[in-house]
Protein backbone atom coordinates (compact mmCIF):
# COMPACT_ATOMS: atom_id res chain seq x y z
CA UNK A 1 0.00 0.00 0.00
CA UNK A 2 1.13 3.54 -0.71
CA UNK A 3 0.00 6.99 0.43
CA UNK A 4 0.20 10.17 -1.66
CA UNK A 5 0.07 13.61 -0.07
CA UNK A 6 -0.84 16.90 -1.72
CA UNK A 7 -1.74 20.39 -0.56
CA UNK A 8 -5.07 21.60 -1.99
CA UNK A 9 -4.31 25.28 -2.54
CA UNK A 10 -7.69 26.12 -4.09
CA UNK A 11 -9.76 24.57 -1.27
CA UNK A 12 -12.38 26.81 0.38
CA UNK A 13 -10.95 25.65 3.73
CA UNK A 14 -7.40 26.90 4.14
CA UNK A 15 -4.58 24.45 4.70
CA UNK A 16 -6.31 21.42 3.24
CA UNK A 17 -4.04 18.44 2.77
CA UNK A 18 -5.25 15.48 0.68
CA UNK A 19 -4.11 12.02 1.74
CA UNK A 20 -4.73 9.29 -0.86
CA UNK A 21 -4.41 5.57 -0.15
CA UNK A 22 -3.65 3.39 -3.17
CA UNK A 23 -1.58 0.55 -4.67
CA UNK A 24 -2.71 -2.13 -2.25
CA UNK A 25 -1.93 -5.67 -3.31
CA UNK A 26 -4.84 -7.09 -1.32
CA UNK A 27 -8.16 -5.99 0.15
CA UNK A 28 -7.61 -4.51 3.61
CA UNK A 29 -9.42 -2.71 6.42
CA UNK A 30 -7.86 0.54 7.67
CA UNK A 31 -8.71 3.21 10.25
CA UNK A 32 -9.44 6.67 8.86
CA UNK A 33 -6.38 8.95 8.79
CA UNK A 34 -5.96 11.64 11.42
CA UNK A 35 -4.53 15.16 10.96
CA UNK A 36 -1.81 14.36 13.50
CA UNK A 37 -0.19 12.11 10.89
CA UNK A 38 1.05 15.25 9.11
CA UNK A 39 4.68 15.86 10.02
CA UNK A 40 6.43 19.18 9.36
CA UNK A 41 10.23 19.08 9.14
CA UNK A 42 13.01 21.52 8.32
CA UNK A 43 15.51 21.11 5.46
CA UNK A 44 17.58 18.75 7.65
CA UNK A 45 14.65 16.44 8.42
CA UNK A 46 14.18 17.67 12.01
CA UNK A 47 10.57 17.86 13.21
CA UNK A 48 9.84 21.54 13.87
CA UNK A 49 6.59 21.28 15.87
CA UNK A 50 4.23 18.78 17.42
CA UNK A 51 0.44 18.73 17.23
CA UNK A 52 -1.25 19.98 20.41
CA UNK A 53 -4.70 19.70 21.87
CA UNK A 54 -6.43 21.23 24.85
CA UNK A 55 -8.43 18.11 25.57
CA UNK A 56 -8.45 14.41 24.82
CA UNK A 57 -11.59 12.58 23.87
CA UNK A 58 -12.59 9.03 23.06
CA UNK A 59 -14.21 8.62 19.69
CA UNK A 60 -15.05 5.62 17.55
CA UNK A 61 -12.23 4.48 15.31
CA UNK A 62 -14.06 4.36 12.00
CA UNK A 63 -12.60 2.27 9.25
CA UNK A 64 -12.68 1.89 5.50
CA UNK A 65 -11.93 -0.84 2.99
CA UNK A 66 -9.21 -0.42 0.40
CA UNK A 67 -9.51 -2.80 -2.54
CA UNK A 68 -6.55 -3.77 -4.70
CA UNK A 69 -5.82 -1.11 -7.31
CA UNK A 70 -8.41 1.26 -5.76
CA UNK A 71 -7.65 4.82 -4.64
CA UNK A 72 -9.39 6.49 -1.69
CA UNK A 73 -8.59 10.08 -0.70
CA UNK A 74 -9.35 12.07 2.46
CA UNK A 75 -9.09 15.81 3.00
CA UNK A 76 -7.46 16.80 6.29
CA UNK A 77 -7.78 20.37 7.55
CA UNK A 78 -4.71 21.62 9.39
CA UNK A 79 -5.25 24.22 12.10
CA UNK A 80 -1.92 26.03 11.72
CA UNK A 81 -1.26 28.96 14.09
CA UNK A 82 -4.96 28.97 14.90
CA UNK A 83 -6.94 28.49 18.08
CA UNK A 84 -8.51 25.58 19.87
CA UNK A 85 -11.91 27.13 19.22
CA UNK A 86 -11.50 26.18 15.56
CA UNK A 87 -10.33 22.57 15.87
CA UNK A 88 -9.43 19.78 18.22
CA UNK A 89 -5.79 19.72 17.05
CA UNK A 90 -3.48 22.63 16.25
CA UNK A 91 0.15 23.18 15.40
CA UNK A 92 2.26 26.34 15.69
CA UNK A 93 4.67 26.89 12.82
CA UNK A 94 7.00 29.87 12.53
CA UNK A 95 7.32 31.64 9.19
CA UNK A 96 9.29 29.50 6.77
CA UNK A 97 9.22 26.66 4.30
CA UNK A 98 8.81 23.09 5.52
CA UNK A 99 8.88 19.60 4.15
CA UNK A 100 5.60 17.82 4.95
CA UNK A 101 4.80 14.13 4.84
CA UNK A 102 2.02 11.96 6.22
CA UNK A 103 3.03 9.09 8.50
CA UNK A 104 0.46 6.33 8.91
CA UNK A 105 0.83 3.56 11.45
CA UNK A 106 -1.43 0.79 12.65
CA UNK A 107 0.10 -1.20 15.48
CA UNK A 108 -0.19 -4.94 15.58
CA UNK A 109 -2.12 -4.73 18.85
CA UNK A 110 -4.20 -1.63 18.14
CA UNK A 111 -7.67 -2.03 19.63
CA UNK A 112 -10.54 -0.66 17.59
CA UNK A 113 -13.34 0.55 19.84
CA UNK A 114 -16.77 0.31 18.26
CA UNK A 115 -19.05 1.65 20.97
CA UNK A 116 -21.41 3.24 18.43
CA UNK A 117 -21.66 0.04 16.35
CA UNK A 118 -20.33 1.88 13.30
CA UNK A 119 -17.94 -0.92 12.36
CA UNK A 120 -17.59 -1.52 8.67
CA UNK A 121 -19.89 -4.26 7.45
CA UNK A 122 -16.80 -5.71 5.76
CA UNK A 123 -14.80 -6.06 8.99
CA UNK A 124 -15.49 -9.76 9.36
CA UNK A 125 -14.49 -10.43 5.73
CA UNK A 126 -11.47 -8.17 5.38
CA UNK A 127 -8.10 -8.49 7.13
CA UNK A 128 -6.99 -5.50 9.17
CA UNK A 129 -3.93 -3.85 7.66
CA UNK A 130 -1.13 -3.38 10.15
CA UNK A 131 2.17 -1.68 9.59
CA UNK A 132 3.74 1.67 8.78
CA UNK A 133 3.84 3.67 5.59
CA UNK A 134 4.95 7.22 4.85
CA UNK A 135 3.73 9.43 2.02
CA UNK A 136 5.76 11.44 -0.42
CA UNK A 137 7.17 14.72 0.89
CA UNK A 138 5.87 18.08 -0.32
CA UNK A 139 7.01 21.65 0.37
CA UNK A 140 4.74 23.92 2.41
CA UNK A 141 5.34 27.60 3.22
CA UNK A 142 4.01 29.55 6.19
CA UNK A 143 4.19 33.27 5.39
CA UNK A 144 4.37 36.20 7.81
CA UNK A 145 0.77 37.11 7.05
CA UNK A 146 -0.44 33.55 7.55
CA UNK A 147 -4.00 33.79 8.83
CA UNK A 148 -5.65 31.64 11.43
CA UNK A 149 -7.17 28.57 9.86
CA UNK A 150 -10.30 26.55 10.36
CA UNK A 151 -9.64 23.00 11.33
Q: Where are the domains of the chain?
A: 2-146
| 50-76 average pLDDT score | 87
Range from 43-57, 103-117, 131-145 carrying the lowest mean pLDDT: 103-117
The predicted pLDDT at position 117 comes to: 56
Q: Would strands 63-66 and 2-8 be described as parallel, antiparallel, or unpaired?
A: unpaired
Q: What is the pLDDT of residues 75-107, one digit of tens each?
A: 999 999 987 776 889 999 999 999 999 999 998
The predicted pLDDT at position 151 comes to: 39
**Confidence band, pLDDT 50/70/90 cuts, at residue 146:** low
Q: Considering the entire predicted model, what is its pTM? A: 0.86
**Confidence band, pLDDT 50/70/90 cuts, at residue 123:** low
Domain 2-146 architecture: Sandwich (2.60)
Question: Do 47 and 137 contact (CB within 8 A), yes or no?
Answer: no
Residue 147 confidence (pLDDT) above 80:
no
The predicted pLDDT at position 107 comes to: 87
Amino acid sequence: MEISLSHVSDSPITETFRVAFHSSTERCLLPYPNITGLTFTDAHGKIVAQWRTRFLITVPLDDFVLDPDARIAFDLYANINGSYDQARWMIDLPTGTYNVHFAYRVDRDTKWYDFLAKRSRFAALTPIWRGEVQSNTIPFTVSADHTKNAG
